[in-house]
Amino acid sequence: MGLTESILLISYGIKTVTNKAKENVEENSNFFRRSLNKIRTKCKERRERVEEYKARRLQAKKQTIYKYNITQSEMIDEFVKTPIPKNNYTQAPTYNAPVILELKIKDSDLMPAISDKTYVNNSFGERINPITLSCSTKGRNLIKVSEGCVLETYKCPAGITTIGYGHTKGVEAGDKITKETAEKYLDEDIQEVETFIRNSVTVPLTQNEFDALVSFGFNVGCGKLNDSTLLRKLNSGDYQGAAAEFSRWNKINKNGTFVVSQGLTNRREREKELFLS
């Protein structure tokens, strides 16, 4: 084989290898290009699903419609200004400014257990999902008036060591507290009852109904309220039947015997009046 033939053969071999390498590179490029396009497509589909989900949630929120002829803050301000009568607890405070509310729920995730219903308020406010409610100043004042405030330990009519506004947790004989501590204990005890009611009541409540239940639960305890016929009737939608149950809880245990307490009788009447007002 001559020199020329050898050079031609080598050149052909190099060209063949080069072409093969180019084909491999092009094939790999096409593979990565296809893979990248698949990833882009999946990302686009995911973004579209996220946007669709956001749109559905927004639409669900828009289906909750409130219509007032006065603002919520005006209603609350006027409501808080109404004092609890000191001498006549059967006289319910009046609120003359009518509030027209139309509440329509279509998304059970937004308002669990009471969706797909329409409720119209009474003169003190609309019935709404209790998870949105907190004890008002009026309800707090009812508890404070009913409990009284003692800054050193004492025995309540049921014989339980108590301090402040009916606070019993962790109280030991001989304890003394300040007025500020009594208010702090009151806040903590009310918050505990509020949380229980929000988790246990499955029907809508007015502010007055919620406040009455907080006062009741504050007094008898969340455990007894949970087992009560009052809660069972309320969750069945029997508001009148639930109101009638307040009066039954007017007895205290003295030496193993349940006796009627005039103080509890008066308190139950105040709570019942508030619940029905």
Phi, psi of 90, rounded to the nearest 5 degrees: -85, -10
Kindly name the residue from 45, 48, 52, 147 that is annotated as catalytic: 147
| Locus of tokens 């509890």 | 264
Q: Which two tokens stand for residue 230?
A: 């009052």
Q: Which two tokens stand for residue 49?
A: 């699903």
Other C-beta atoms within 10 Å of 42: how many?
10
Q: Which two tokens stand for residue 176?
A: 């003394």
The amino acid sitting at 138 is: K
Kindly name the residue from 149, 156, 192, 222 that is annotated as catalytic: 156
Q: Which two tokens stand for residue 39?
A: 């990833």
> What is d(CA 83, CA 91) in angstroms, rounded to the nearest whole number?
11
CB burial of residue 180 (10 Å; 0-12, 13-18, 19+): exposed
Q: What's the full length of the chain, in residues? A: 277
> What is d(CA 248, CA 277) in angstroms, rounded to the nearest whole number?
19
Other C-beta atoms within 10 Å of 28: how many?
10
Q: Is 147 designated active site?
A: yes
> What is d(CA 268, CA 262) in angstroms, rounded to the nearest whole number?
10
Residues designated catalytic: 147, 156
